[in-house]
Amino acid sequence: MKHIIDPKLDLVLERHAAFAPELIWKAWTKPEHVAKWFAPRPWTTAECQIDLRPGGQFRFVMRSPEGQLYPNVGCYLEVVPKERLVWTDALLPGYRPSLEPFFTAIVTLAPDGKGGTNYTAIALHRDEENRKKHEAMGFQEGWGQVYEQLIEFIGGAQL
């Protein structure tokens, strides 16, 4: 399903990668890979668990430079291999409602016809207040840095 962007509610990051969608997909869907690039440095990903199916868990724990742990638990809504991942923190695994929903993420991978990928990450928010909060937290910088780390990881890994 294609999402229509609402600039009042959504934040968008678009990039182009020289790598094929298959490689980016592998980096996004294996916990041992995600743990190596998903937190913007100097933060790290201390843990990652993935149950890659609609209703399955996407859980990761970010570690601050001071050592504080920040667990994040979400539920996959859509999994289209090598094309699209959708997950939300509004639901826990098994579609159980969460207490503190913040956003839904959509990552799309589209072949560029030259062996690379057009990469889009979208954060959907329930209201303008939460979109502005996420923007102020550094969505563009953080997700942009994480994208660069993803590309760096793929370039140096044997996926």
Which CATH number do you get for residue 140? Answer: 3.30.530.20
Which range of residues forms the domain containing residue 18? 13-152
Q: What's residue 1's pLDDT?
A: 64
CB of 12 closer than 8 Å to CB of 5:
yes
**Residue ranges of the chain with pLDDT lower than 50?**
none
Question: pLDDT, tens digit, for every residue of 64-73?
Answer: 999 999 999 9
Total tally of structural domains belonging to the chain: 1
Non-local CB neighbours of 134 within 8 Å, separated by 6+ positions: 11, 102, 103, 123, 125
Residue 128 lies in a domain: yes
Residue 116 lies in a domain: yes
Q: What's residue 27's pLDDT?
A: 97
Residue 71 lies in a domain: yes
User: What Å distances lie between residue 138 and 82, 106, 132, 148, CA to CA?
Assistant: 27, 18, 10, 15
Q: How far apart are CA 136 and CA 57, in angstroms?
A: 27
